[in-house]
Amino acid sequence: MNSAETSVNVNMSENASSNSCLRPPLASFRTQNCFLFFSTFSITNDLGLLLLFVLVLLLDCHQRRTQRCVSAVRDVVVVYNSMAMQLEELSGVAFFFFASYTKQPHLIWPASTIIGSGSHGQLLLHLLTCVECYVAVVHPVFFMGLRKKGVVKLRNMCLCCVWLLCGVGIIALHFAHSLKFMLFYISFTAFLLLAVALCSITVLRALRRPRPGEEVDGRTRRVDQSKQRAFRTIMTILTALLFKLVGTVSCAVLVSEGDKNIISCTPVMVIACFDVPGNMVLPVLYLHHTRKRQQQPRN
Domain ranges of the chain: 24-295
Instruction: Specify the CATH superfamily of domain 24-295.
Output: Rhodopsin 7-helix transmembrane proteins (1.20.1070.10)
Q: Tell me what pLDDT residue 215 has.
A: 52
Helices (H), the chain: 2-18, 32-66, 70-101, 108-138, 140-149, 151-174, 178-208, 220-255, 265-274, 276-295
Other CB atoms closer than 10 Å to residue 62's CB: what's the count? Answer: 13
* Burial environment of residue 18 by CB neighbours within 10 A (0 to 12, 13 to 18, 19 or more): middle
pLDDT in single tens digits along all 299 residues of the chain: 444 444 434 344 444 333 333 444 444 455 566 667 667 777 787 788 888 888 988 888 877 777 655 555 566 888 889 888 888 888 887 787 777 777 777 777 777 788 778 888 888 888 888 888 888 888 878 777 776 666 778 888 888 999 988 888 777 766 666 667 667 777 877 888 888 888 888 887 877 765 555 554 544 444 567 777 888 888 888 888 888 888 777 766 766 654 444 445 555 566 667 878 888 888 888 888 887 776 665 54
Pick the closest to residue 45 from 277, 208, 297 (CA basis). Answer: 277
Q: Tell me what pLDDT residue 71 has.
A: 57
- Residues 204 and 225: their CA atoms lie apart, in Å, by 13
Based on its alpha-carbon atoms, the radius of gyration of the chain, rounded to whole angstroms, reads 22
